Amino acid sequence: MPKRYKKKFILPNPGYDSPVTVVAISKDGKHIASAYLDGRVLVHEISSGDQLYDFAPGPAVFTLVWPRSDSSSLLFGTDGGTLVSASISSREVETSTFQAHRAPIKSLSPIENAMIVASCAGSEVRIWKQVITLDGKEHWRNQIDLPTPPSETARVDDACVAIGAQWMKVPTTLDNDCDGLLLVSYQWHGIIGAFDLSPDRSTLAVHGFPRSVRFDVYDVKARIKVRSLEVEQGDSLPYLPVKYVHDGFAVAGGSYAGNVRIWDLESGDRLQVLRHGNIPIRTIAAHYVKESQVFLIATGASNGQVTLWDTVVENETDSLEPVKVPSSVYWGLWAVGLQNFLLTCAIVLILAIVCYHHLTTSH
């Protein structure tokens, strides 16, 4: 039977209307974390909607991730360039903070259970690995600093801003034989707004900047645009979130008017619209469990509202039925200038994590 997303619940308002900056669903599907422009981070239980934890690291939080397959730890980056690690148990939460970058941290991309994460801040892209000190405490060690791509201007830091990173290939090691591939999105003069890589690493969904009225989907291997997903005129923000959902069979895109549209990736047909009452949508997260056929979408709005959407079976034509999407996983990329993908001068690079003989191995 067809499936449709329906509103499961709106998370209890924490008592203020600070805009939501990011939401993330834990890998086990048990918890949802949300961060706000005023610096708060909340964790709720998905089954009940109850608030479990409330962090206040200080500066605004722009990115957060669940680095493990369970809900035992959170990692988030702040406007002040600090990286905050939170270890969560049933009784208490222990946090540690350190200065990771000079600029605001805009993106974190973890490798599940490997305790390796890539961070983006300003022109800096760094690879971190968690180590355990002799006294049993967790510590994040800077393993690699990726080089900044060439710039046509003299002031590289101002011209080149890394706004996101996702792993194309998980490295088996970070020593002199490292073999990982990292896709990094760079904003040149404000062209790239947001992007997301499909679960099978075959396609890339991009929102242009400023005020693009569409989301473009590209074939990573062929380096060509395969589809445009239109947003109504007047319904676009300078930055709109985009996310692969439904195990990569569909794409969800936010809007200024409070509508999250879900499109079939193969046909481009609009499957459903999740409405939020004319409140601009700032962030989207998705979760899928194949074995139990659990589909979840979380949305964060500019008024501080976080909504969780679940699927129900309905006999309707405008529904989310699984479709068969061709899969072409391509692992052999060394460095691809994705400016060929865009009609503008946006650049999204695939950077290989190259093996340096003089890596920083300790701090």
Say yes or no to pLDDT of 241 above 80. Answer: yes
More confident: 237 or 34: 34
pLDDT above 70 coverage of the chain, percent: 75
Query: Under a CB-based contact definition with an 8 Å cutoff, are residues 159 and 189 in contact?
Result: yes
DSSP assignment, residue 123?
T
Query: Under a CB-based contact definition with an 8 Å cutoff, are residues 83 and 129 in contact?
Result: no
Percent helix, strand and coil across the chain, each rounded to 5?
5, 50, 45
* Tokens read off for 298: 């979380």
Can you give the pLDDT at residue 244? Answer: 95
192-210 pLDDT, tens digit each: 668 899 999 999 999 876 5
104-114: average pLDDT? 88
Can you give the pLDDT at residue 219? Answer: 94
CATH class of 3-352: mainly beta
Can you give the pLDDT at residue 95? Answer: 86
Spatial neighbors of 291 by CB under 8 A, at least 6 apart, are none
Can you give the pLDDT at residue 234? Answer: 56
More confident: 55 or 14: 55
CA distance 322 to 330: 23
Can you give the pLDDT at residue 104? Answer: 94
DSSP assignment, residue 320?
B
Phi first, then psi: give them for residue 9, nearest 5 degrees. -170, 160
Instruction: Round the average pLDDT of the chain to a whole number and report it.
Output: 78
Phi first, then psi: give them for residue 247, nearest 5 degrees. 60, 30
Query: Which runs of consecutive H residues, i.e. helices, occur in 144-192?
Result: 156-159
2 burial via Cβ count (<10 Å: 0-12, 13-18, 19+): middle
> Which of the four pLDDT bands, split at 50, 70 and 90, describes residue 212?
low
Say yes or no to pLDDT of 97 above 70. Answer: yes
CA of 190: how far to CAs of 24, 58, 141, 150, in Å? 25, 27, 31, 17
Can you give the pLDDT at residue 237? Answer: 56
> Which of the four pLDDT bands, split at 50, 70 and 90, describes residue 119?
very high
Say yes or no to pLDDT of 136 above 80. Answer: no
254-263: average pLDDT? 90
CA distance 69 to 174: 21
Query: Under a CB-based contact definition with an 8 Å cutoff, are residues 161 and 184 in contact?
Result: no
24-75 pLDDT, tens digit each: 999 999 999 999 998 889 999 998 888 888 888 678 999 999 988 888 889 9
Can you give the pLDDT at residue 154? Answer: 47
Can you give the pLDDT at residue 159? Answer: 62
274-311 pLDDT, tens digit each: 999 888 899 999 998 777 778 999 999 999 999 999 98
More confident: 303 or 351: 303
Can you give the pLDDT at residue 109? Answer: 94
Say yes or no to pLDDT of 349 above 80. Answer: no
Say yes or no to pLDDT of 169 above 70. Answer: yes
CA distance 68 to 362: 23
